[in-house]
């Protein structure tokens, strides 16, 4: 068989082979160069460094960590921090964004314009500048000695915001909260689907179970519930939100909310007017039309866009590094400085974010499928 360039099939195979060869050559050159450069620096690519002690501290950690902890432990701390910051700030952004997006379509002109101004301001200023701004506000609060005391045991100072907190190990507390939320969602769904039984019973059972888990995880020799007490330059007891964490949450939540608001608004606008008119014709009041018709339809319509937005906001948590919050990216960057294991660490960085993205899109797709109305294919 002879090759002819005029034969489309053979030409396609040749073109693809050339394309693949070029890509592979480039990759090969990169790998070889890297290996040689690392040899010059006296480093070998591998994973053994993960067991070495980092010798550096991390300012915010939800799990035990000290100078002797390994790189693997440090990376875990960073990963948990990213999940922690991301979950809190993205949830706040979605909640606030939904309210503002709804307000943008209000028939009340003042509400509408306030929401509009909010969206325009927070959308059009870079996130990192907003993070700097909030960080400057947080670190310029009065010192702990002159901390602003707020009713209910809250103290605001430049060392962070101190609040009353259960003395429960973090994992138990998280498990208890997760159990309560999942239990409530399941009982509400079951009660709705079957039309029998009250969801209240299920919610109460999950609350009781959550309390038992929380009680089991309480820290020894401390009261179960603790108020922060001022003591010199520190506060004893209670929980702390550091300025880094606080300003990162505020910045991402407010910035994200302006984007979520636009998605929510577009979702409401995409509902066919006929559906709303039909609801009016059936005699439903405005309140019912909102809760029973517009909101459920809007949520179903925006889910795919919202998935992308949530993934984008999770990635935006990396700006934490600018204000000193040690998220996963920050810890990876720091570990590269300390160990020189560039290639392995970048690989772990990619895997970490890939895992987060996959989890989000998997969950959102599952929600999308569960909520889809039969016969309503888009």
Partner 1 sequence: MTATTEIQAPALNDSLLDSVRRDYFSSVGRTILTLVCLALILSALWFLVNWGLVNAVWFGTPEDCHKAAGACWAVITDRYRLIFFGLYPYEEQWRSALACLAILATVILSCVPFFWSAKRLPVLWALGYGLFYFLMKGGVFGMPVVLETQWGGLALTVFVFSSTVVIGMPLAIVLALLRRSRLPVVSTVTALFIDGIRSLPLLSILFTAAIILPLTLPGFLVGDKLYRVIIGAAVFFAVYQAEIIRSGIQSLPAGQEEAATALGLNYWQTISRIVLPQAFRFALPPTINQVVIAFMETALIVILGFFEITASGNAAFSTGGWKPFHTEVYSFVALIYFVFTYSLSMYGSYLERSMKLGLR
Interface residues toward partner 1, by CB under 8 A: 12, 15-16, 19-20, 23, 29-31, 33-34, 37-38, 107-111, 114, 120-121, 123-130, 132-133, 136-137, 140, 311, 315-316, 318-319, 321-322, 329, 333, 336, 342-343, 346, 349-350, 353-354, 357
Helix (H) or strand (E) holding 247: helix 243-269
Instruction: Select 94 or 332, whichever has its Cβ closest to partner 1.
Output: 332
Q: Min. distance of Cβ 317 from partner 1 in angstroms?
A: 8
CA 159, 157, 229: angle at the middle one, nearest 5? 90
Name residue, tokens 């550096």. 56
Closest distance of CB 8 from partner 1, Å = 10
Which residue number, 56 or 199, has a Cβ lying nearer to partner 1?
56
The CA distance from 340 to 183, in Å, is 46
CB of 277 to partner 1, least distance (A): 16
CB 377, min distance to partner 1, A: 19
Angle at 84 between CA 81 and CA 87, to 5 degrees: 145
Q: CB nearer to partner 1: give 97 or 183.
A: 97
Shortest distance, CB of residue 28 to partner 1, whole angstroms? 11
| String of DSSP letters for 278-330 | HHHHTT--HHHIIIIIIHHHHHHHHHHHHHHHHHHHHHHGGGGGGGT---HHH
- Nearest residue (CB) to partner 1, 34 versus 57: 34
First to last CA, the chain: 50
Contact 73, 65 (CB under 8 A): yes
Q: Whole-number minimum distance, CB 193 to partner 1, in Å? A: 34
Nearest CB to partner 1, comparing residues 74 and 327: 327
**Coil, strand, or helix at residue 21?**
helix
Cβ nearer to partner 1, comparing 20 with 212:
20
């Amino acid at each position: 068989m002879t090759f002819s360039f005029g034969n489309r099939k053979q030409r396609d195979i040749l073109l693809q082979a050339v394309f693949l060869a070029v890509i592979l050559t480039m990759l090969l050159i990169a790998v070889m160069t890297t290996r040689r450069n690392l040899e010059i620096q006296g480093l070998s690519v591998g994973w053994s460094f993960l067991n070495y002690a980092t010798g550096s501290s991390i300012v915010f950690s939800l799990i035990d960590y000290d100078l002797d902890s390994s790189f693997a432990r440090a990376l875990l701390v960073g990963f948990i921090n990213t999940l922690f910051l991301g979950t809190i700030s993205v949830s706040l952004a979605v909640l606030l964004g939904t309210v503002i997006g709804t307000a943008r379509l209000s028939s009340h002109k003042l509400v509408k314009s306030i929401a509009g101004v909010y969206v325009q301001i927070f959308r059009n200023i870079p996130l990192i500048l907003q993070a700097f701004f909030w960080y400057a506000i947080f670190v310029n609060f009065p010192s702990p000695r002159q901390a602003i005391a707020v009713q209910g045991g809250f103290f605001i100072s430049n060392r962070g915001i101190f609040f009353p907190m259960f003395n429960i190990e973090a994992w138990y507390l998280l498990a208890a909260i997760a159990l309560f939320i999942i239990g409530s969602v399941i009982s509400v769904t079951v009660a709705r689907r079957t039309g029998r039984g009250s969801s209240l019973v299920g919610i109460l059972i999950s609350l009781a179970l959550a309390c038992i888990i929380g009680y089991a995880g309480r820290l020894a020799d401390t009261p179960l519930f603790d108020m922060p007490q001022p003591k010199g330059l520190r506060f004893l007891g209670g929980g702390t939100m550091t300025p880094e964490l606080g300003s990162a949450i505020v910045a991402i939540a407010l910035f994200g909310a302006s984007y979520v608001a636009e998605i929510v608004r577009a979702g409401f606008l995409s509902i066919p007017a006929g559906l709303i008119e039909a609801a009016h014709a059936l005699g439903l009041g405005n309140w019912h039309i909102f809760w029973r018709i517009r909101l459920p339809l809007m949520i179903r319509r925006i889910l795919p866009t919202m998935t992308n937005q949530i993934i984008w906001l999770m990635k935006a948590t990396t700006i934490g590094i600018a204000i000193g919050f040690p998220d996963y990216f920050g810890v990876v960057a720091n570990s590269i400085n300390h160990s020189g294991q560039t290639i392995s660490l970048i690989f772990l960085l990619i895997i970490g974010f890939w895992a987060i993205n996959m989890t989000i899109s998997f969950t959102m797709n599952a929600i999308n499928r569960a909520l889809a109305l039969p016969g309503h294919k888009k």
